[in-house]
Amino acid sequence: MSTFRIAINALALTLAATAAAAQTPPATPPPKPKPCTAPEHRQFDFWIGDWQVRDPAGKAVGENRIVALHGGCVLLETWSGAGGFTGSSVNGYDADRKQWHQTWMDNSGGVLQIDGRFADGRMTLTGDATGEKPGETVRNRITWTPLPDGRVRQLWESSSDGGKTWTTAFDGLYSRK
C-alpha cells in the first residue's frame, strides 16, 4: 500500500471518529441543589408577614412588614414606628458560618449588625455597637419568639457591661394585620 493511501485511510478514520464523537451527547451534569432550601434557611420564616406591633401595655408602637426575597434567601424588614422612626433590615442565613445575620439601618443614621442562631424555639441575634459615651461598647441581644397563637414577641436587650446585666431596649408583641 502506498504512503499516500495509508495517509488517506488514516484521515478517513480520524474524520469518522470525530463525527461519531460529535454525535454522542455529553453526559448530563447532576442538577444543582436550589439555594436556600435547607431547613436552616426557613428558621426565621415565622416572622414573614404584615404586623401591628404593641408594647407590653397594649399601646400601638408601630407596624412592620417582613417579606422574603431572592428565592427565600433574604428577609427584608421595613419598620414604621408610631413616632416617625423608620428603618429596614436585611436578614439571611449564612451557610458558611452556620448562623443568621441581620444588618439594620434607620432614619436616625443608626446601624446595627447582629448574628446568631435559632435554638429552643426562638431566634436570638447579638452584636456590639458603639455606645453614646466615648469609647463605650454596647452589646445588643434581640430575641424573636413565635407564640402558639401566631403572634411573635421581639425582645431587644442591651448591656454596657459586657453582658453581665441587661436592660430592655424594646419589647414588642407582633400581631398579624
Q: Hey, what's the cell of 85?
A: 422612626
pTM: 0.81
Q: Where are the domains of the chain?
A: 39-176
Name the nearest CA neighbour of 116 among 81, 91, 137. Answer: 91
Q: How far is CA 69 from the centre of its chain?
A: 9
Print pLDDT tens along the chain (177 aa). Answer: 565 555 455 444 554 555 555 565 667 777 776 789 999 999 999 999 999 999 999 999 999 999 999 999 999 999 999 999 999 999 999 999 999 999 999 999 999 999 999 999 999 999 999 888 888 899 999 999 999 999 999 999 999 999 999 999 999 999 999
- Alpha-carbon span 92 to 66, nearest angstrom: 12
The CATH label, of 3.40.50.720, 2.40.128.20, 3.90.320.10, 1.25.40.10, for the domain at 39-176 is 2.40.128.20
3-class SS of residue 5 = helix
